Amino acid sequence: MKSFNIDIIFPWEIGFIIVVCSLILIILGVLQSKKNVDDFDKIPIIKPTTKIFFGSFFCIFGLIQMLPLLK
């Protein structure tokens, strides 16, 4: 079996926590993107696309941390 030469930084438990938090972040971004903002005083600080982007990046990072579970 070939190796991907990807090293983990955290144990798999922390990777699982990162995956769960990133999925919550993606869900919040999707829900926020469905809302219509009519008032300029209520513009969110963080855009929903930013939440979805960082959530997906952290999800991939967390899944890489969980690779030792495949052995």
| Closest CA relative to residue 17, chosen from 63, 52, 67 | 63
Q: Read off the pLDDT of residues 20-65 as tens digits, 9 standing for 90 and up.
A: 999 999 999 999 888 877 676 667 778 889 999 999 999 999 998 8
Q: Which residue has better confidence, 9 or 40?
A: 9
Q: Read off the pLDDT of residues 60-69 as tens digits, 9 standing for 90 and up.
A: 999 988 888 8
pTM reported for the whole predicted model: 0.79
In angstroms, the Cα distances linking 51 to 31, 58, 62 are: 11, 10, 16
